[in-house]
Structure formats: structure tokens, C-alpha cells
Homo-oligomer: A and B are copies of this chain.
Amino acid sequence: MKRIGMLTSGGDCQALNAAMRGVVKSIINSGQEVEIYGFLNGYKGLIYGDFKMLTGSDFSGILTVGGTILGSSRTPFKTIKDPDENGLDKVEAMKQNYYKLKLDVLVILGGNGTHKTANLLRQEGLNVITLPKTIDNDLYGTDMTFGFQSAVDIATNAIDCIHTTAASHGRIFIVEIMGHKVGYLTLNAGMAGGADIILLPEIPYDIKKVVDAIKKREERGSKFTIIAVAEGAISKEDAKLSKKEYQKKLEKSTYPSVSYEVADQIHKMTGQEVRVTVPGHTQRGGSPCPYDRVFASRLGAEAGKLILEDDYGFMVGYRNREIVKVPLEDVAGKLKMLDPDATIIQEAKMLGISFGD
């Protein structure tokens, strides 16, 4: 008998359900008896002992369903070691619930913040297996995360829709794409949608170069320009600020986001109308794309295998086309950034895409 705790933490994304289904199916199909404790709303459920018992049939039919059947929340990871408002030691509470339920393992699905806490629990002696979930694909130790390709599909679809209206009206359009710290999603959706300019957190932009790129297009007869802007895109000047100074600047800004600032600057420098579209949270939602369904199912199945082998302390990741186990200490606290000199960036430049650098 295996007693498995399971939770999904952080911003939700596509294929969380597919991944959990993979874990449970692989264990049940092995013939191993199992009890599944689904903690609700991320670490909160583990801290406060809020869970529901699940059986195999709860995981039937959820391969294609977005979101997470367990609910999720962004527990303040930075304060995880601090007591809660009632003085409860949160880490201790999680450990107690783990031991009280006699769990063999915690299966944790999440992104960067989630992995820090998962590693903390491992250090505290709990058995932990994690699965790499994020639309940002910024998790260290794995080439790919599930949710990413589904988000690329949705963001690309938004750019596709904007394309026809931009072309018809001869306008400049900005599509703001999710990603505060890393630009994989914006880069891929931008390339897939045929964006002319792509602004990423990793490559600070010079607004003059952005305007130059627009003008060059006009000279060649292109009457419209599509700019894919990551939420975390940053100008060269702002990139020189300290983190604190930049934070302050953002707080004072009257622009809802950097896209609106870019739009305003382009408008002032060219006299042209610039429209901003923000697909926002739609990028996390809906049915996972086939790639993510297969990928998350595979990761889940391998997590199940590790559990059957009592082999704990790992994130199940993907490297060089192999599914691998990555020690949690190697993942926690790191970020996988996009290298500004990566081959794909060079290729995008060959294709004529400007990064404003």
C-alpha cells in the first residue's frame, strides 16, 4: 500500500490534470494498492490539513481538462518559514500532516516558487517527487515544462487574430505576452505569429531601435507592424537601475504595464496610433494542447515509477530528449533564463525580427 499526498501550487496551467492522471494511472496499473490524499489549493491544503481522498476514477476523463482538480494558490513562498497570522509554524504544520497521514510521498506540481518549498520539505526529511509545471518554461534542470506549448498556442492564436486587423488598418499593434522574468513564451509565440519586433526581459530594448525597425518596414512598403512584448520587457535605461529603483519606478508608473509605455513612446516618436492587446490569463487556460498532454502524461508515468521504486527527492524533468530525475537541490532557487545569444535568437534575427537591441 502506498499513501500518496498530492498538490498543485502556484499559477495554474494546462496539463496539470494530465500529469496527475499519469502518476495515478501508472501506480494503479502496476497493481500496487494506493491511497491518494489530494491537498486543496496548493501548500495551503497541506498546511491546514485540507484534503480529499481520491480514487482512480477521479482521474478518469481529465486528460484533456485544463486547470487542476485540486485547486491551486500562490502561497507566499517567501514567508513560508514565517508563522501564519495565528502563530502557526507552517513548515512544522506540513510535516505534522504528512506524518499524521502516514504518507509515503508528496507529489508536488509547480514552478519555481513551488520548488523552493518542495526542496525545503525534502530537507526536512519528507519524501518528495515534483513535476515541472509552468507556461514560462523557466524551470531549472529541465529543457521543457508542461503548460508552455499550450500557452504558446494561445498566445500565437491571439497574434494571428491581430494580424488580419493590423494588416487591414495599417496599424501598429502590441500583443503583451505573459512572462515577467523570462522570454521563452514571448519569443516562441512571436516567431510563430510572425511578429516583426519582439521585446524580452533578457534583451533590454532601445526604443529608438524599435522605432527604426518600424520605419524600415514602412520604407519597404509594410504598412503595419506587430510587436510581441513580454510582461517583463525592459528598456536599456531601466535595466541599468537597481532592482529596488526599478520597482519604485514601476509603482509610480501610470501605465498598466510596460506595453502601454512602449505604445506611448512609439506614438510620440512616430505620430502613429498604437493598439495594445493583453490576452492575459487566457494563456494559462483551456484544454492542454496534444504536445502537453503527451508530455505531462509521460512525466507523470515516470513519477509513478519512481514512487513504486521508493526513489525520492527528485523533479522528473526532460533533458536531451530523455526523461530524467533531477535532484531537487539542483532545481530549487534557480531560474532558467533565455540566453540573449542563443541560436534561436540568432535565427530570429536572420528572419528579420528586431529585438530592439
Contact B191 A294 (CB under 8 A): yes
- Having A72-B169, A193-B290, one finds 18 other A-B pairs with CB under 8 Å, namely A11-B169, A26-B350, A64-B163, A64-B194, A71-B170, A72-B168, A152-B291, A158-B279, A161-B282, A161-B284, A165-B285, A191-B293, A277-B278, A278-B280, A291-B291, A301-B348, A301-B351, A320-B320
The smallest C-beta distance from A125 to any residue of chain B, in angstroms, reads 28
> Which residues of chain B are near A73, meaning CB under 8 Å?
169-170
| A250 CB to nearest B CB, Å | 16
CB neighbours (8 Å) of A290 from chain B are 149, 152-153, 156, 188-189, 192-193
Residue ID in chain B nearest A163 by CB atoms: B285
Question: Which single residue of chain B is at the shortest CB-CB distance from A343?
Answer: B323
Q: A12-B169, A71-B169, A152-B291 are in contact. Are A275 and B279 (CB under 8 A)?
A: no
Q: Mark A291-328, 1 if CB is under 8 A from B, else 0.
A: 10110011001101100000000000000111100000
Given A41-B170, A352-B29: A165 touches B256 (CB 8 Å cut-off): no
Q: Is the CB of B279 within 8 A of A277?
A: yes
Query: Is A102 in the interface zone, CB < 8 Å from B?
Result: no
- The residue that A275 contacts in the complex, of B164, B223, B281, with Cβ under 8 A, is B281
Judge whether A356 is part of the interface by a CB distance below 8 angstroms: no
- How far is B160's CA from A173's CA once the two chains are assembled, in angstroms? 24
Is A162 engaged at the interface, CB distance under 8 Å to the other chain?
yes
Query: A interface vs B, CB < 8 Å?
Result: 8, 11-12, 14, 16, 22, 25-26, 28-30, 41, 63-68, 71-73, 143, 149, 152-154, 156-158, 160-165, 167-170, 173, 188-189, 191-194, 223, 254, 256, 275-286, 289-291, 293-294, 297-298, 301-302, 304-305, 320-323, 343-344, 347-348, 350-352
Q: Name 23 interchain pairs, CB-CB below 8 A, sorted by A.
A: A26-B347, A30-B350, A66-B164, A68-B168, A71-B169, A149-B291, A152-B290, A157-B282, A160-B286, A161-B282, A161-B285, A164-B284, A164-B285, A165-B281, A192-B293, A193-B290, A277-B280, A298-B344, A301-B348, A301-B351, A302-B347, A305-B350, A321-B321
Task: List chain B residues, Cβ under 8 A from A162.
Answer: 281-282, 285
Q: Which residues of B contact A68 (CB under 8 A)?
A: 168
Residue pair B347, A298 in contact (C-beta under 8 Å): yes
Give every chain B residue within 8 A of A323 (Cβ-Cβ): 343, 347
Using known A-B contacts A12-B165, A323-B343, A347-B302, determine if residue A25 contacts B291 with beta carbons closer than 8 Å.
no
Instruction: Please state if B64 and A351 are interface contacts (CB–CB under 8 Å).
Output: no
Residues in B with CB closer than 8 Å to A160 are 64, 285-286
Q: CA of A184 to CA of B338 in the docked complex: distance in angstroms? A: 30
